[in-house]
Structure 1
């Protein structure tokens, strides 16, 4: 039997909960992306931008309309809800589905105009508001798997917001289907929508007791069929250079500019340890900002690797380069502050193999080729896993995120909804 036939057979076998209601994921997605929810890394509030609550209020209203009575938005911008179980079994673990409401600060999320390109046949997709923005198959390889699909993009001036409003729409449609289709047997399903994931604060204020879940799944991945059980481990580092200030008219032999020293250090960083010089399971050391003046300058870094021990090695490179360069700048000093950000969720998930196994089975039941992957980044699930909620990441269908060429397939979003529904039934079956 061909592989595609195998998964089609599995899909027919397990799609025993014939949906009485049509998918609503596309309509929901188109509604959500026009709400600007961009987060702000410079803000100290939670959420970092109050406009994220605008989407939260919409989601709560829709959940209440479905009949999910405990749906609410808390003061920190988190949405919580519970789809009540409908099984006679008393021991079904509570599982949680999570997506984030914010969009990246890297590209504007205001005034999004979503467009549906129906029945994609492989031609270039030119975004009308900026014709220089073109989706080409050779630059977006997963478009090869989208022939006949309906592709959603923005119009060219903004990101789309599929990261992670695709995941939100998929979870919301799954909630709707569960409430409309009592033949789908499941335990209690906990729902969490978070703010500020894009700036690393997505679960800072998450109430784990309120969630009360045994296992979680973020819906925030890329290609249909992918499931991620491994993320980077992450540290942040701040390098503080203390130079020597002097009047520039009388600076000869006296001034030691902290700004110039910082520039030399950044220029000396190895290319094969940079984001642009690494791939797959390779980690990196990346300067993300420089600020300061002659007397003091600061360089902020992110440090990433799948191996926790290598984070220390990468930070040591900053130490060694700084000490080497400061030999030519007598009287100048430095300080390096390293702070843990998140850790590889595989360290936790390996202790709970059934959580990943059930996710892979759900993807196969949806008629897809299930692939277990690593992600060169992090998700809310990275931190949730270390907060007591083991939480791998399932595809949402989002592609080219954080930029104007971001896109998602309608059919992939529908497959994500099916995968969520299958997960609910698998946990009920295996209880």
Structure 2
């Protein structure tokens, strides 16, 4: 069987083209996509898919790209989807990205030319130690690179190109889905799964070579509102109960050595204030609550509630309201019902000559939402590192392995059908 080869550096050229299209999403916008410029990449992808002969490639009004690779086999094979997001993080500029290829990397620190204070240090990026002899792509120092998730988009497109040109490779029907707004938590809000018509899916948005993730955080959002007592500050003695000060006391009283992002790792969850606003009379804080089980989420929300109750005992005329809303849930609860999805992903990685590493994500993916929408969807590596920062980097050779893994997944589902 033919194996994927990065002929004429098509992978790097494709990736560089995509990174130079600014697709930053905007959490302050309520449109879909949140920024119109995301559609520029969508239109480019549709154009390329149509040029490959994929007749149904299209982008809908919300910026979602759909396409189908028909099956060349007579077998009845489950329909598999590969999904990546087109937007880049609002945390760091994605405008005028200037990708640089550092060929034949030899373990040195990478000093980025447009801002020499931005240094990708081998001592701080452990995965660089595994990249000796490989080609590393970075940005130039003033922007993020956009490997999150244009590495995944590139890898899917390279796999599509390969399967279209190698009709002898047997696979079932393969669906492609490119989404907007993943970075702001809205990546599959308007995905049309009926139109997509897939049975199982894989997001291509993971980090380290060989990683496959079947578990994400479960996530809640919490809004804490404090109703204080306002009075003229010149005559406030014994009357004023400042909501601003009360909410500050509550945040200060939350655990510091546990239950915070700064002090947790692995399977430990947290309560994290992400926004605060207010006046003397009323103040509001927004929190995100994260852990791997629903029970733990409930416990953490209770810590927040009890802390607020404890502080409010000192303010007899003030009150609080805590509202907790579910955001997304650990996809493992769904994927455990379909063990073959993960098993075939692991086998596909191993067939690419890479050791598979099963991991949990301290975050969410489009896959966790898709899994609960009825499309079981683990996450496989794209090779992106230090994302959401000017130090973002990706290895060409890791991306090549991701392309081969995607092809292998399609083949394994056909073999087992």
> How far 1:88 sits from its partner (Å)?
2.1
Inter-partner Cα distance in structure 1 for 2:94 and 2:242: 38
Contact 1:19 1:181 (C-alpha < 8 Å) held by counterparts: no
Inter-partner Cα distance in structure 1 for 2:396 and 2:5: 19
Whether 2:174 is the aligned partner of 1:189: answer yes
Whether 2:58 is the aligned partner of 1:75: answer no
The counterpart of 2:216, out of the listed 216, 231, 237, is 231
1:146-225 paired onto structure 2 within 5 Å: 146-225=131-210
Contact 2:291 2:297 (C-alpha < 8 Å) held by counterparts: yes
Tell me what 1:136 maps to: 121
Partner SS, residue 17 of structure 2: helix
Tell me what 1:13 maps to: none
Inter-partner Cα distance in structure 2 for 1:81 and 1:377: 28
In 2 relative to 1, CA 227–327 (structure 1 residues): closer, same or farther, beyond 3 Å? same
Identify unmatched segments of 5+ residues in structure 2.
Answer: none
Inter-partner Cα distance in structure 1 for 2:3 and 2:322: 58
In 2 relative to 1, CA 21–105 (structure 1 residues): closer, same or farther, beyond 3 Å? closer
Per-residue CA deviations over 1:204-233 (Å, capped at 9, x if unaligned) read 111111111111000000011110011111
> How far 1:387 sits from its partner (Å)?
0.7
The counterpart of 2:226, out of the listed 230, 236, 241, is 241
Inter-partner Cα distance in structure 1 for 2:5 and 2:277: 58
Partner SS, residue 348 of structure 2: helix
Inter-partner Cα distance in structure 2 for 1:380 and 1:19: 27
Inter-partner Cα distance in structure 1 for 2:247 and 2:4: 60
TM-score normalised per structure 2: 0.98
Whether 2:97 is the aligned partner of 1:112: answer yes
Whether 2:294 is the aligned partner of 1:308: answer yes
Identify unmatched segments of 5+ residues in structure 1.
Answer: 1-15
The counterpart of 2:369, out of the listed 375, 383, 386, is 383
Inter-partner Cα distance in structure 2 for 1:21 and 1:288: 43
Partner SS, residue 368 of structure 1: coil
Inter-partner Cα distance in structure 2 for 1:136 and 1:182: 44
Tell me what 2:263 maps to: 277
Per-residue CA deviations over 1:286-321 (Å, capped at 9, x if unaligned) read 111111211111111111101111101001111111
Tell me what 1:84 maps to: 70
Inter-partner Cα distance in structure 2 for 1:154 and 1:294: 45
Inter-partner Cα distance in structure 1 for 2:121 and 2:141: 14
> How far 1:329 sits from its partner (Å)?
1.7
Per-residue CA deviations over 1:122-173 (Å, capped at 9, x if unaligned) read 0100111111111111210000110011111111111111111100010011
Whether 2:332 is the aligned partner of 1:366: answer no
Contact 1:243 1:333 (C-alpha < 8 Å) held by counterparts: yes
Per-residue CA deviations over 1:318-369 (Å, capped at 9, x if unaligned) read 1111111111222111111111111111101111000000000000110101
Inter-partner Cα distance in structure 2 for 1:157 and 1:393: 29
Inter-partner Cα distance in structure 2 for 1:401 and 1:180: 32
Partner SS, residue 286 of structure 2: strand
Greater mean alpha carbon deviation, residues 375-384 or residues 130-139: 130-139
Tell me what 2:340 maps to: 354
Contact 2:4 2:404 (C-alpha < 8 Å) held by counterparts: no
Tell me what 2:400 maps to: 414
Tell me what 1:290 maps to: 276
> How far 1:257 sits from its partner (Å)?
1.6
CA RMSD of aligned residues (A): 1.1
Partner SS, residue 273 of structure 1: coil
The counterpart of 2:322, out of the listed 326, 336, 340, is 336
Partner SS, residue 317 of structure 2: coil
Tell me what 1:397 maps to: 383
Contact 1:80 1:191 (C-alpha < 8 Å) held by counterparts: yes
Greater mean alpha carbon deviation, residues 299-308 or residues 23-32: 23-32
